[in-house]
Amino acid sequence: MNPAISITLLLSVLQMSRGQKVTSLTACLVNQSLRLDCRHENNTHVPIQHEFSLTREKKKHVLAGTLGVPEHMYRSRVTVANDRYIKVLTLANFTTKDEGDYSCELRVSGPNTMSFNKTVHVYRDKLLKCGGISLLVQNTSWMLFLLLSLSLLQATDFISL
């Protein structure tokens, strides 16, 4: 095989496998709803398939996604928002019966299908409330957050520029 073709093929496979890596999975409460933020890389133009699931008492329950079939008991309570680098699942009316291990799995179809996932242990009494500042810190790059903070500190005469 031509070395140039081999290198091109290898690079395209590496790009696809890197393109769906889950970078973080976080959980918090919004009123009485559970919010799961599945952040991921996206360096490919191939559609990324996803699945949110809950493992409780050694049994996996599919909540939402394009990989598995969501269980009927969750369909009316779950919403999913998709963006290029994040998928957000909201589970309404979260109770202690919904506690367990939540997973986000991403997969890119192709000749060498690879999947990546992260899992977070969710217990109602240990969940933090989703807040404005925490969401700002989670969803904003550190440089932008620093720039926004400088103007606030200057306005309160904490620093002078």
CA 33, CA 74: separation in Å to the nearest integer?
Answer: 13
The tens digit of pLDDT for each residue in 54-94 reads: 999 999 999 999 988 999 999 999 999 988 888 999 999 99
**Residue 117: pLDDT band by 50, 70, 90 thresholds?**
confident
**Which residue in 120, 86, 84 sits closest to 101, CA to CA?**
120
Q: How far is CA 122 from the centre of its chain?
A: 15
**For residue 37, with 0-12 CB atoms within 10 Å meaning exposed, 13-18 middle and 19 or more buried, which class applies?**
buried
Q: Which of 6-15, 39-48, 65-74 has the highest mean pLDDT?
A: 65-74
What's the pLDDT at 58?
92
The mean pLDDT value for 101-124 works out to 86
**Which residue in 15, 39, 25 sits closest to 112, CA to CA?**
15
CA 8, CA 12: separation in Å to the nearest integer?
Answer: 6
pTM, full prediction: 0.69
